[in-house]
Chains A and B, each alone.
Chain A
Amino acid sequence: MTQDAIAADRSSVATGDVLYSIRDLSVEYGTRAGEVAAVDRVSLDIRKGEILGLVGESGCGKSTLGKAMMRMISPPGRITQGELWFAGEDLMTVSEAQMREIRGARLGMVFQDPMTSLNPLSKIVDHLTETITTHEPSVSEAAARDRAEQLIGRLGLRVERIDDYPHQFSGGMRQRIMIALALALRADLVIADEPTTALDVIVEAQFLDLLRELRAEFDLTIIMITHNIGVVAEVADRVAVMYAGRMAELGSVDEVFLDTKHPYGQGLLRAVPNIELDGSDLYQMEGAPPNLLHTPSGCPFHPRCPHVMPICSEREPAFAEVTPGHRASCWLFQEHDGEGER
Chain B
Amino acid sequence: MHPLLLSVLIFGVPAAIALGWVFLRGGGALRRYIATRVALTLPMVFVLVSVVFLVLRVMPGDVASATLGPKANAEVRQNIEETLGLDDPLVVQYARFLGQVATFDLGDSFVGARRPVVDELGERLPATLELVLPAAGVAIALGLVLGASAAGHRRRLRDYAVRMFGVVVYSMPVFWLGMLAKGVFSIWLGWTPVAGRIDVLANATLERTTNLLVVDSILSGNWEALRSALHHMVLPVLTLGVSISGLFARLVRINVIETLQQDYVAAARARGLRERTVVGAYAVRNAMIPVVTVIGLQVAILLAGTVLTEAVFNWPGMGLYLVERIKVRDFQAVQSAVAMFALLVAAIGLAVDVVYGVLDPRVEY
Contact = CB atoms under 8 A, between A and B. Distances in A.
Given A104-B272, A130-B273, A118 B267 contact: yes
- Residue from B264, B269, B273 whose CB has the most chain A CB atoms within 10 Å: B264
A108 interface: yes
B268 A119 contact: yes
Contacts of A103: 269-272
Given A165-B361, A165-B362, A167-B362, A100 B274 contact: yes
A276 B300 CA distance: 66
Contact of A100 (B263, B272, B360): B272
Interface stretch (A15-23, A109-117, A151-159, A208-216): A109-117
Contacts of A100: 272-274
Contact of A121 (B266, B272, B285): B285
A111 B267 contact: yes
- Counting chain A residues whose Cβ lies within 8 A of the other chain, the interface size class is 20 to 34
Contacts of B360: 120-121
B73 interface: no
Contact of A70 (B270, B282, B286, B359): B270
B262 interface: yes
A125 interface: no
A134 B272 contact: yes
A148 B281 CA distance: 20
Nearest to A112: B263
- Chain B: interface secondary structure? helix
Given A117-B267, A130-B277, A101 B272 contact: yes
Contacts of B274: 100, 134
A269 interface: no
Interface in A29-83: 70, 72
Nearest to A191: B270
A164 B271 CA distance: 20
Contacts of B263: 111-113, 116-117
Interface string B247-290: 00000000000000011101111111110010001100110000
A27 interface: no
A178 B267 contact: yes
Nearest to B285: A121
B286 A121 contact: yes
A134 B268 CA distance: 11
A167 B364 CA distance: 12
A95 to B, nearest CB: 13
B362 A120 contact: yes
B356 to A, nearest CB: 12
A135 interface: yes
A311 interface: no
A120 B271 contact: no
B271 A117 contact: no
A134 B277 contact: yes
A317 B360 CA distance: 54
A120 B264 contact: yes
Nearest to B267: A117
Contacts of B267: 109, 111, 117-118, 178, 181
- Residue from B268, B270, B285 whose CB has the most chain A CB atoms within 10 Å: B270
B271 A104 contact: yes
B285 A131 contact: no
Contact of B271 (A116, A121, A167, A181): A181
- Residue from B264, B272, B286 whose CB has the most chain A CB atoms within 10 Å: B272
Interface in A220-242: none
B282 A119 contact: yes
A122 B359 CA distance: 10
A111 B268 contact: no
A105 interface: yes
Given A165-B361, A167-B361, A167-B362, A119 B264 contact: yes
Contacts of B362: 120, 165, 167
A105 B270 CA distance: 10
B270 A108 contact: yes
Contacts of A112: 263
Interface string A162-183: 0001010000000000100100
Contact of A104 (B262, B270, B281, B285): B270
A165 B264 CA distance: 14
Contacts of A102: 272
A107 B270 CA distance: 8
B126 to A, nearest CB: 36
Contact of A120 (B272, B277, B286): B286
Given A113-B263, A120-B361, A121-B359, A72 B286 contact: no
A128 B268 CA distance: 11
Nearest to B265: A119
Interface in B214-270: 262-264, 266-270
A116 B264 contact: yes
Interface in B63-84: none
A135 B271 CA distance: 9
A116 B263 CA distance: 6
A131 B271 contact: yes
A186 to B, nearest CB: 13
A70 B266 CA distance: 11
Given A165-B361, A167-B362, A118 B270 contact: no
Contacts of B262: 116
Contact of B286 (A113, A119, A167, A178): A119
B280 to A, nearest CB: 12
A139 to B, nearest CB: 15
- Residue from A101, A116, A135 whose CB has the most chain B CB atoms within 10 Å: A116
A244 B281 CA distance: 38
A113 B277 CA distance: 22
A120 B288 CA distance: 13
A302 B205 CA distance: 92
Interface in A124-142: 130-131, 134-135
A312 B97 CA distance: 91
A167 B266 CA distance: 18
11 contacts: A100-B272, A100-B274, A102-B272, A103-B271, A109-B270, A111-B270, A112-B263, A117-B263, A121-B359, A130-B277, A134-B273
3 shortest interchain CB distances as A-B pairs: A104-B272, A104-B271, A103-B272
Given A111-B267, A130-B273, 7 more contacts: A72-B270, A109-B270, A116-B263, A121-B285, A121-B359, A134-B271, A134-B272
